Structure 1
Amino acid sequence: MDRLVNELIVIDKFSLQPGDVLLSYAAQMMDEPGCETGYCHAAIYLGSGEILESDAQGVKKSSVEDILLAYDHIAVMRSEDIWSSARIEALRDFASRHIGKKFNIRALPRIELLRQLSVENPHQEIIDYFAGRATPVEADRETYFCSELVTSAFIDAGIISESAALLFKPETLMPIDIAQDKVFGFFFGYIPKRSNYVIPSDDWFRSNI
């Protein structure tokens, strides 16, 4: 059952819907590059209690309970009326095609360079795309970082169009980037590690929704 705690929306796993993005928070990770907000992992809900994620073990299905073994709480983002039955089916097909692929261990060391290259001249890339001179962004890859996997799922399902994918290159996005962009949804609620857990007062979503 959903409930309001300290004026925050706290939900349970039964409130999740296919396509919901799950961003995982761990206070102990805030000193790590890219995890300054504490949000350092992204996953996507498939339905029927199953979550698609990529971690050090590779691309796999897991559960809310599995994620909360390693993280303090989950912030859920939802795109209302975006995930049609056809897109949900595409998401599940995407998952079935990618289960077992390896974790992109090279992502973090290279992500800042890739981000810089990506923003140097994005408008020219779009011009080149519509002129037939640019290669479309591939959603199907051999390895995936967590947020790279979620972004690729949105591209594969057609929520991020082929041309828009030039601005949402999966290899350039960190979990906090997903939190900041409404294409991935709006904040829906928190799933805490335990019933007496208190969402930190400086949690990113508390001041950015």
Structure 2
Amino acid sequence: MQPNTEFKNIADLKPGDVILCHCDPSNDLVSKAIHSVTSSEYCHAAIYYGDSLAAESTAKDGIKKGKIEKVDVSKLISRYGHVAVLRQPDAWASDNRVEALKLFVDKVVENGAKYNFNGIFSFKSRKEFHEANIQEKLENFFGGKLSPLPTDKSEYFCSEFVSDCFIAVGFIQPSAAILFQSDTYSPGDLGKEPTFGTFWGYLTTNPSYKISEHDYYYRTTTYDVIYGV
């Protein structure tokens, strides 16, 4: 496998692309907490909205002020040495699905949804419980005793919000939403699940930046190679 050392152009992002941000766990409390639980160097996630904007749930302004917002994607990327981008070949193929994504994001932002800080610190136990009980949950769903968790919430942590975007627009169907419970997915988990996309490439705003050979995606087969783009 040839190493992935080249950077993509930010202007080539497409709505629905998942942006995974490479974090230094020593920078802030949230990054440290996510890294300690997931052991992934990718500890923040956002989704590309279009129009040079990304949507993210972030605690960067403080625990109480953290919220869902649309931000300039270049400014988001500039907060990190680099980001990795996942692209889903089917989820956003139609204009209707892209429009549904924008409507969902706009609604969440308008409703003033906050950052789910508590969800980060209860993540490990919740994920373990979910994985241990998934068969029972699926049986209850098909037996009419359980419904997927709603996507319309007052709080989301970053990868929870990205996961809910896929559920809210209907790409992840209700039965699958039981399996893909959004608050059990970390940023690193998104990158390991093809449902959320295939590695498309790296982005950076630092022209002298170099990707470490230890990066998770350094020798990953890219979206362009797989799909012949």
Same fold (TM over 0.5): yes
Q: Give the percent of matched residue pairs that are identical in Structure 1 and Structure 2.
A: 32
Q: Is the 8 A contact 1:136 1:166 kept in 2?
A: yes
Per-residue displacement from partner, 1:59-102 (whole Å, max 9, x unpaired)? 00012222133211110000113212111011000011111311
2:128 alignment counterpart: 116
2:156 matches 1:147? no
Please point out which of 54, 57, 63 is paired with 1:54. 57
Please point out which of 72, 76, 80 is paired with 1:67. 76
Please point out which of 7, 11, 20 is paired with 1:10. 7
> How many Å separate the matches in 1 of 2:78 and 2:52?
16
2:42 alignment counterpart: 39
2:18 alignment counterpart: 21
| TM-score (ref. length: structure 1) | 0.92
Please point out which of 157, 181, 188 is paired with 1:176. 188
Q: Is the 8 A contact 1:9 1:188 kept in 2?
A: no
- TM-superposed deviation, 1:34: 2.8
2:201 matches 1:189? yes
Q: Is the 8 A contact 2:86 2:196 kept in 1?
A: yes
Aligned partner of 2:107: which letter? R
- TM-superposed deviation, 1:8: 2.9
> How many Å separate the matches in 1 of 2:166 and 2:173?
9
> How many Å separate the matches in 2 of 1:82 and 1:171?
20
Look up the SS of the partner of 1:140 in the other structure.
coil
4+ residue runs over 6 A deviation: none
> How many Å separate the matches in 2 of 1:143 and 1:193?
30
Tell me how many residue pairs correspond in the alignment. Answer: 205
2:97 matches 1:87? yes
Show structure 1 runs of 5+ residues with no match: none
Aligned partner of 1:73: which letter? H
| TM-score (ref. length: structure 2) | 0.84
1:157 alignment counterpart: 169
Q: Is the 8 A contact 2:83 2:202 kept in 1?
A: yes
Look up the SS of the partner of 1:159 in the other structure.
coil
Aligned partner of 2:101: which letter? L
Show structure 2 runs of 5+ residues with no match: 60-65, 222-229
State the superposition RMSD in angstroms. Answer: 1.8
> How many Å separate the matches in 1 of 2:155 and 2:25?
26
Look up the SS of the partner of 1:27 in the other structure.
coil
- TM-superposed deviation, 1:195: 1.2
Q: Is the 8 A contact 1:37 1:203 kept in 2?
A: no
